[in-house]
């Protein structure tokens, strides 16, 4: 049995839609053959898209981070902040609904820092994998 070691990834991206392909590519390279690799890439893409569409990062920049260890992963996007729109009950589904469906309600969230930036994060867990998923 191999010993699992956590690995971290961090990337900085321009707040433009053409950067989303790079987010997906770099996340896919980092997570490799992780059991939830596709979900992690989808979550990173959704959070990055939201950063570009709905925050001051549009035209600016945002950061993507991922920590991968045996049995769990955390992905987060830090944007430049901006207003946070509260959803109405009858709103149509949004990308964060996908994030919630993949993670469960208590395994994702958003936090605003004192300097006005925002970090939106999600964690995924999987069972039965004790091998080193970091390579």
Percent of the chain with pLDDT over 90: 67
pLDDT in tens, 25-64: 999 999 999 999 999 999 999 999 999 998 999 999 999 9
Domain locations along the chain? 7-125
Report DSSP letters for 22-46, one per residue: HHHHHHHHHHTT-TTHHHHHHHHHH
93, two tokens: 């589904």
Region 84-98 average pLDDT: 72
Region 85-89 average pLDDT: 67
Instruction: Name the class of domain 7-125.
Output: alpha beta
If pLDDT is split at 50, 70 and 90, which confidence band does 97 have? confident
Dihedral sign from CA coordinates of 38, 112, 88, 108: positive
pLDDT in tens, 108-134: 999 998 899 999 999 999 986 444 444
What global pTM score does this model have? Answer: 0.86
pLDDT at residue 85 in the model: 67
pLDDT at residue 104 in the model: 79
Dihedral sign from CA coordinates of 98, 88, 63, 76: negative
Containing H/E element for 103?
A: helix 95-103
């Amino acid at each position: 049995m191999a010993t699992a070691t956590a690995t971290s990834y961090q990337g900085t991206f321009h707040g433009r839609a053409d950067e989303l392909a790079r987010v997906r590519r770099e996340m896919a390279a980092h997570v490799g053959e992780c059991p939830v690799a596709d979900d992690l890439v989808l979550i990173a893409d959704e959070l990055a898209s939201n950063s570009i569409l709905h925050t001051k990062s549009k035209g600016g920049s945002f950061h993507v981070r991922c920590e991968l260890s045996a049995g769990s992963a955390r992905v987060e996007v830090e944007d430049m902040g901006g207003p946070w729109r509260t959803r109405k009950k009858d709103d149509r589904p949004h990308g964060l609904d996908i994030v919630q469906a993949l993670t469960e309600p208590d395994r994702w969230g958003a936090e605003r820092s004192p300097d006005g930036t925002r970090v939106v994060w999600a964690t995924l867990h999987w069972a039965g994998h004790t091998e080193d998923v970091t390579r």
